[in-house]
């Protein structure tokens, strides 16, 4: 079988080579975090086309950074130091962190990048994209300011109450402050890359800037009628599914039945007024001051300030007595000075989902247009993003290809958002079968997850049990999970072997280990797919 021939790693050449006309997907096993290297068959056997989809580990992933350093080494080794396309799906640490941590290797050319693919939401010249990013920046500032003020409060309080510290911990958990973990290197790098305001640059912004600076070409992708040929691979193409340009879908995170509950990052949560109060800067800009004023519930004349000495004189003796009695040192346990700041926790959660929904969702197709197997890579797309694919059709080689067709031919599904509850859709808004329910049985699922690490995060049930059970049926047990936590799943061997019950699919695990610790498990899994000839 030519297949086995082609996927046998020839000694001396660590290069990752796909079978003719096919693909090898290398799934790295860092845990909570995405990193997939796809090697598509190229013009000739010796020149595969390498596509890297994301490269990062979540801050809550133990040993994540160490594993990612090994991943980068392996990437350089198996691609010969050149990746044709890097896809940065969205601005989250668990998808980008390794770029930032390996900045040196990108900058000195150890790892070269041909094209960089980004979602249209990263464009600077797009009005909607700018608006979305503006919302995110505002939210981020507000959250950081609120958390800062809460921390000050805890510090100022000599013996902080249990409740305050516990709630602070809960609120900060939602907000990946890991962005700031290597504070000292970020500004240096940022100024080297010529970014404005280097002190304020976050790790994710830095990662994107690095990629933009080192890639030969940057492409912004918008879902539409045109499929994207993969440069260097005559037999594969990509369909852009999301993120949608429909604002209401971008803001839809959770499945709903009938009762549409859109949550607006900017307003429902009261961000505008919350942010103004939390950030609390004295702005000389008149327009900003006017906006801030609009966030106060009442006219200036009605505001009293019994808590500041200088202002307290303006109070009548009765008023002063009232606030002394009911909001003074007596019964201090009933005061609510900081309670409003805890909204930062919810805001962080919304911000997180908002960002997930800007995921660049791709479907790769092998072989003839409209016929070959499809690899579905939705990144962390949430409900609204999935729903938006419904209207998409592509005209290719005289055929009309719709989303249902792509889903039906899906042979590999990179499970969205570490298999959380709201990043895989199975029915559409009318209750009709859609998404995963259209995918044929026998698909192979890839789940980048570490259940134990996810359990430490609030609201992260990963994998989400119902979904996982359904996936097990759909895949007939052919799931590659990066945490190996499910003993029922087949474990690929070091040698290539057939995926049970799936024709033309083979897999193996690496001999290389995740870390120096022996028994830390393989660094990656490889899955090879060949289309019918």
**Contacting other proteins within 302-341 (CB under 8 A):** 302-307, 318-319, 322-323, 326-327, 333-340
Q: Which residues pair with 273 in a beta bridge?
A: none
**Residue number, 209 or 462, with CB nearest to other proteins:** 462
Q: How far is the CB of 432 from other proteins (least distance, A)?
A: 13
**Binds other proteins by CB under 8 A, chosen from 261, 310, 313, 488:** 261
**Binds other proteins by CB under 8 A, chosen from 72, 129, 277, 480:** 277
Q: How far is the CB of 162 from other proteins (least distance, A)?
A: 5
CA 270, chain centre distance (Å): 25
Instruction: Please say whether the beta carbons of 361 and 232 come within 8 A.
Output: no
Binding segment (CB under 8 A) for other proteins, from list 7-15, 407-415, 425-433, 494-502: 425-433
**Binds other proteins by CB under 8 A, chosen from 3, 4, 47, 263:** 263
Per-residue DSSP letter, 332: G
* Rounded alpha-carbon distances, angstroms, from residue 30 to 69, 88, 407, 487: 10, 17, 28, 19
Q: How far is the CB of 277 from other proteins (least distance, A)?
A: 4
Q: How far is the CB of 40 from other proteins (least distance, A)?
A: 33
Cβ neighbours for 131, distance < 8 A, ≥ 6 positions apart: none
- CA geometry: angle 25, 28, 33, nearest 5 deg: 115
Task: For residues 444 and 336, give the distance between their C-alpha atoms in angstroms, rounded to a whole number.
Answer: 52
349 binds other proteins (CB under 8 A): yes
Show contacts with other proteins in window 23-52 (CB under 8 A).
none
CA 2, chain centre distance (Å): 37
Cβ neighbours for 7, distance < 8 A, ≥ 6 positions apart: 17, 18, 19, 24, 496, 506, 528
Show contacts with other proteins in window 434-453 (CB under 8 A).
451-452
Going by C-alpha positions, the residue among 263, 15, 243 that lies closest to residue 135 is 263
**Binds other proteins by CB under 8 A, chosen from 137, 170, 491, 494:** 170
Per-residue DSSP letter, 18: P
Q: How far is the CB of 128 from other proteins (least distance, A)?
A: 15
Beta strands in 71-171 (DSSP E): 82-87, 112-119
Task: For residues 329 and 321, give the distance between their C-alpha atoms in angstroms, rounded to a whole number.
Answer: 13
Show contacts with other proteins in window 285-304 (CB under 8 A).
294-299, 302-304
212 binds other proteins (CB under 8 A): no
**Token pair of 297 as six digits:** 């519930």
262 binds other proteins (CB under 8 A): yes
**Binds other proteins by CB under 8 A, chosen from 2, 13, 225, 267:** 267
Task: For residues 232 and 47, give the distance between their C-alpha atoms in angstroms, rounded to a whole number.
Answer: 8
Q: How far is the CB of 104 from other proteins (least distance, A)?
A: 33
**Residue number, 110 or 283, with CB nearest to other proteins:** 283
**Binds other proteins by CB under 8 A, chosen from 61, 93, 97, 173:** 173
Q: How far is the CB of 280 from other proteins (least distance, A)?
A: 9
**Binds other proteins by CB under 8 A, chosen from 176, 236, 269, 401:** 269
Binding segment (CB under 8 A) for other proteins, from list 69-77, 260-268, 490-498, 516-524: 260-268
Show contacts with other proteins in window 394-423 (CB under 8 A).
421-422
Q: How far is the CB of 213 from other proteins (least distance, A)?
A: 36
Show contacts with other proteins in window 487-526 (CB under 8 A).
none
Question: What's the order of all strands across the beta sheet hosting 505-509?
Answer: 215-221, 112-119, 82-87, 49-55, 35-40, 23-28, 524-529, 505-509, 497-498
155 binds other proteins (CB under 8 A): no
**Binds other proteins by CB under 8 A, chosen from 222, 426, 442, 472:** 426
Task: For residues 438 and 522, give the distance between their C-alpha atoms in angstroms, rounded to a whole number.
Answer: 32
279 binds other proteins (CB under 8 A): no
Show contacts with other proteins in window 228-257 (CB under 8 A).
254-257
Q: How far is the CB of 308 from other proteins (least distance, A)?
A: 8
* Cβ neighbours around 64 below 10 Å, total: 25
What is the DSSP pairing of strand 393-396 with strand 23-28?
Answer: unpaired
Show contacts with other proteins in window 450-489 (CB under 8 A).
451-452, 454-461, 464-467, 470, 483, 485
Task: For residues 226 and 223, give the distance between their C-alpha atoms in angstroms, rounded to a whole number.
Answer: 8
273 binds other proteins (CB under 8 A): yes
Cβ neighbours for 229, distance < 8 A, ≥ 6 positions apart: 237, 238
151 binds other proteins (CB under 8 A): no
**Residue number, 46 or 333, with CB nearest to other proteins:** 333
Q: Which residue has the tokens 């990108």?
A: 106
């Amino acid at each position: 079988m030519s297949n086995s021939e082609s996927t046998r790693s020839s000694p001396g050449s660590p290069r990752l080579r796909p079978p003719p006309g096919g693909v090898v997907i290398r799934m790295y096993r860092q845990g909570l975090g995405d990193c997939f290297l796809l090697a598509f068959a190229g013009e000739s056997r010796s020149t595969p086309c390498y596509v890297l989809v994301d490269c990062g580990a979540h801050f809550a992933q133990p040993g994540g950074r160490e594993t990612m350093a090994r991943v980068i080494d392996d990437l350089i080794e198996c691609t010969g130091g050149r990746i044709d396309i890097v896809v940065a799906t969205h601005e989250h640490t668990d998808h980008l962190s390794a770029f930032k941590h390996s900045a040196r290797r990108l900058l000195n050319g150890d790892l070269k990048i041909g094209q960089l693919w980004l979602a249209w939401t990263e464009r600077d010249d797009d009005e909607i994209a700018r608006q979305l990013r503006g919302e995110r920046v505002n939210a981020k500032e507000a959250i950081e300011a609120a958390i800062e003020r809460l921390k000050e409060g805890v510090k100022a309080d000599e013996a902080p109450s249990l409740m305050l510290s516990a709630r602070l911990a809960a609120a900060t958990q939602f907000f990946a402050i890991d962005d700031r973990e290597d504070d000292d290197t970020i500004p240096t790098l940022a100024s080297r890359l010529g970014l404005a305001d280097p002190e304020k640059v976050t790790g994710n912004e830095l990662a994107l800037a690095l990629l933009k600076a080192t890639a030969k070409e940057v492409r912004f992708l918008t879902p539409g009628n045109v499929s994207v040929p993969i440069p260097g691979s005559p037999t594969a193409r990509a369909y852009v599914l999301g993120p949608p340009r429909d604002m209401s879908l971008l803001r839809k995170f959770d499945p709903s039945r009938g009762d549409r509950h859109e949550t607006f990052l900017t307003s429902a949560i009261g961000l505008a007024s919350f942010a103004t109060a939390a950030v609390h800067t004295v702005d000389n800009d008149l327009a900003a001051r006017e906006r801030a004023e609009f966030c106060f519930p009442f006219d200036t004349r009605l505001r009293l300030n019994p808590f500041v000495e200088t202002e307290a004189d303006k109070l009548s003796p009765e008023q002063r007595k009232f606030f002394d009695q009911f909001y003074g040192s007596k019964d201090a346990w009933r005061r609510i000075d900081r309670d409003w700041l805890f909204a930062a926790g919810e805001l962080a959660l919304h911000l997180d989902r908002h960002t997930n929904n800007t995921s660049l969702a791709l479907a790769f197709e092998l072989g003839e247009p409209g016929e070959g197997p499809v690899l579905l890579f939705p990144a962390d797309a949430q409900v609204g993003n999935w729903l938006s694919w419904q209207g998409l059709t592509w005209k290719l080689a005289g055929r009309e290809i719709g989303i249902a067709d792509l889903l039906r031919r899906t042979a590999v599904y990179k499970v969205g958002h570490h298999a959380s509850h709201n990043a895989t859709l199975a029915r559409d808004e009318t209750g009709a079968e859609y998404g995963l329910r259209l995918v044929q049985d026998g698909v192979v699922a890839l789940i980048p997850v570490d259940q134990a690490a996810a359990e430490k995060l609030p609201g992260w049930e990963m994998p989400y049990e119902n979904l996982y059970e359904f996936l097990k049926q759909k895949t007939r047990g052919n799931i590659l999970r990066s945490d190996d936590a499910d003993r029922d799943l087949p474990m690929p061997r070091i040698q290539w072997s057939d995926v049970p019950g799936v024709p033309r699919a083979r897999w193996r695990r690496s001999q290389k280990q995740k870390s120096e610790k022996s028994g830390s498990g393989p660094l990656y899994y490889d899955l090879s797919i060949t289309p019918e000839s």
